[in-house]
Amino acid sequence: MPKTDQPTIIAIVSQKGGSGKTTLAVNLATRAAQASQESCVIDTDPQATAAAWGDWRGDFLPVVVTAPPARLTRTIESAKKNGVEFIVIDTPPHADAAAREAIKAADIVLIPTKPRAFDLAALEPIADLVSFAKTPAFVVLNAVPTGATVLANEARKTAEGMGLSICPVELGDRAAFHRSSAKGETAAEIDPSGKAAQEVDALWKWLNKVLKKAQK
């Protein structure tokens, strides 16, 4: 990712609880830190799950700060002043003010979604929000069971039918994601050569490519 004065801002949103927003946020922000980016997670979820992860983690990057949606812009400004280069905004479930503010502030929106009918149906309000805001947005299929090719293909078709783009990298159902989170770590930190680590790495590289194209 090029070093510029403007940080890269990623919003992670999804209407559905437990779709993997916080997991994606902390794994991506930590991957950015591993690439020597000053990275930060802004947790706008009153449940403060990312913030709890940050507390367990201690003094290692990424920094995790909490901010109610009404304070998001100010919090981003203060992160900029502190030299933060990569910001991931974690949001609560529901397509409400928090999701709207995060989408407005972001360069790109990631929408983690399990490839299940109810989860896919819940994409509709988010699809409306991102199309209104015109921020580039991608569905990231998450916790895809091993070998579930048909399920994943159907999920992609459903999301595309709502006018959403699909991230070509998907995350499998991997124990390393939940095992690591409970310790304030990431999948790549507890199992650097594991599949979860490879997927996050592929996602990071894809993100760089897309952002370079999107950036002037």
Ligand X SMILES: Nc1ncnc2c1ncn2[C@@H]1O[C@H](COP(=O)(O)OP(=O)(O)OP(=O)(O)O)[C@@H](O)[C@H]1O
Nearer Cβ to ligand X (98/108): 98
Of 21, 57, 156, 174, the one binding Mg ion (CB under 5 A) is 21
Nearer Cβ to Mg ion (94/195): 94
- The partner residues of 110 in beta bridges, in order of sequence, read 12, 138
The closest alpha carbon to 15, from 92, 110, 114, 67, belongs to 92
- Is 173 one of the binding residues for ligand X (CB under 6 A)? yes
How does strand 108-113 pair with strand 8-12? parallel
Long-range CB pairs of 57-61 (<8 Å, 24+ gap) are 57/184, 57/185, 58/184, 60/33, 61/29, 61/30, 61/33
Among ligand X, Mg ion, none, partner that 20 touches (CB below 5 to 8 angstroms by kind): ligand X
CB of 212 to ligand X, least distance (A): 26
CB of 161 to ligand X, least distance (A): 22
Residue whose tokens read 């095992």? 179
* Residues 112-171 within binding reach of ligand X (CB under 6 A): 142-143, 171
CA 175 vs CA 17, 187, 196: distances in Å? 19, 9, 9
Nearer Cβ to ligand X (23/39): 23
In the complex, the residues that contact ligand X under the rule CB under 6 A are 17-23, 45, 47, 49, 93, 142-143, 171, 173-174, 177-178, 181
